[in-house]
Amino acid sequence: MRILFLGDVVGRTGRDGVLAALPVLRERLDPDITVVNGENSAGGFGITMKIADEFFAAGVDVITTGNHVWDQKELVGQIDQQPRLLRPLNYPEGTPGCGFVLLQTRGQRAVLVVNVMCRLFMDALDDPFAGMERVLRAHRLGPGGVSAIIVDVHGEATSEKMIMGHTLDGRASLVVGTHSHVPTADHQILPGGTAYLSDAGMCGDYDSAIGMKKEVAAAKLIRKLPTERLSPAEGPATVCGVYVETDDRTGLALRVEPVRLGGRLSQHLPMRGG
């Protein structure tokens, strides 16, 4: 199976970048499933159903989120209408929405997409590791189970993300971090066969502070005085993510490569494999 995952989309430039890149990426990579983290797509803060629908219309299969999921408050009452728009798994019981979704791709293959959030330097949620165990008890990768499992680990600390990668190694097709808004270059197939990348990076303007206007962010951090509200930088986005090919029988990864398209960062566009 061919998997395309794109990191946190930031603001209009991020959305424009993703919508422009998707046809190119589809042409080039022909992914069986496309996942995008949309937690910053609405002006940098959260996501609306309208924006989600634009992504779905453009061919995105699943949207993941993170700590910004409820920044657009009306989503709380709407998220249950759209099972392909995920919120992190480990919010308290009773939270609207769901942390995972099971899809059918071409050829009747089942794919599970999970969204989970770390806790180091972040909000105190339920245990992400215990949460993943519960999900993976119900959905096994490989023969008799699902063809692919994709896990978006939304987190700050590289240590916690790497530990999640190792903990799921052999039981997921791809464990990919989001939230830092910077792509990492540590893509690898872990010893058990799971593709891993500490952070997909954002889809946004990299002449910025994690996608937001750099002057405002700098003033806020350095001077510690009130500033105007942070808003997304407006230069061209680099669309960042990761591309993975898996063995449909085992569900494990055969190949993992970064995707970086447009904007200021060095460009990387994988070739589709055999």
Active site residues: 68
**Which window, 32-40, 48-56, 145-153, 163-171, contacts a second copy (CB under 8 A)?**
163-171
Applying CB under 8 A, among 136, 162, 195, 239 the residue interacting with a second copy is: 162
The pair of structure tokens assigned to 23 is: 């046809």
Applying CB under 8 A, among 48, 82, 105, 167 the residue interacting with a second copy is: 167
Residue 134 contacts a second copy per CB under 8 A: no
**Which window, 57-65, 142-150, 156-164, 245-253, contacts a second copy (CB under 8 A)?**
156-164
**239: region left, alpha or beta (phi > 0 left; psi from -120 to 50 alpha):** beta
DSSP-derived letter for residue 145 is S
Q: How far is the CB of 264 from a second copy (least distance, A)?
A: 5
**Which window, 16-24, 28-36, 102-110, 150-158, contacts a second copy (CB under 8 A)?**
150-158
Residue 8 contacts Fe ion per CB under 5 A: yes
**Which window, 9-17, 47-55, 107-115, 188-196, contacts a second copy (CB under 8 A)?**
188-196
β-sheet with 33-37: strand ranges across: 62-64, 33-37, 2-6, 239-246, 253-261
Nearest to 167 by CA among 191, 143, 138: 191
Residue 2 contacts a second copy per CB under 8 A: no
Q: How far is the CB of 155 from Fe ion (least distance, A)?
A: 8
Please answer whether residues 39 and 67 qualify as being in contact, where contact means their C-beta atoms are separated by less than 8 angstroms: yes
What distance in Å separates the CA atoms of residue 150 and residue 240, rounded to the nearest whole number?
17
Where do we find the tokens 């494999």?
Answer: 273
What distance in Å separates the CA atoms of residue 258 and residue 270, rounded to the nearest whole number?
7
Torsion of CA 98, 104, 110, 114, to 10 degrees: -20
Please answer whether residues 44 and 4 qualify as being in contact, where contact means their C-beta atoms are separated by less than 8 angstroms: no
Closest to Fe ion by CB, 13 or 40: 40
Residue 249 contacts a second copy per CB under 8 A: no
Q: Rule CB under 8 A: which residues touch a second copy? A: 70, 73, 76, 91-96, 119-121, 123-127, 129-130, 156-160, 162-163, 166-167, 180-188, 190-191, 198-199, 201, 206-210, 214, 217-218, 221-226, 258, 260, 264-266, 268
Q: Rule CB under 5 A: which residues touch Fe ion? A: 8, 39-40, 66-67, 179
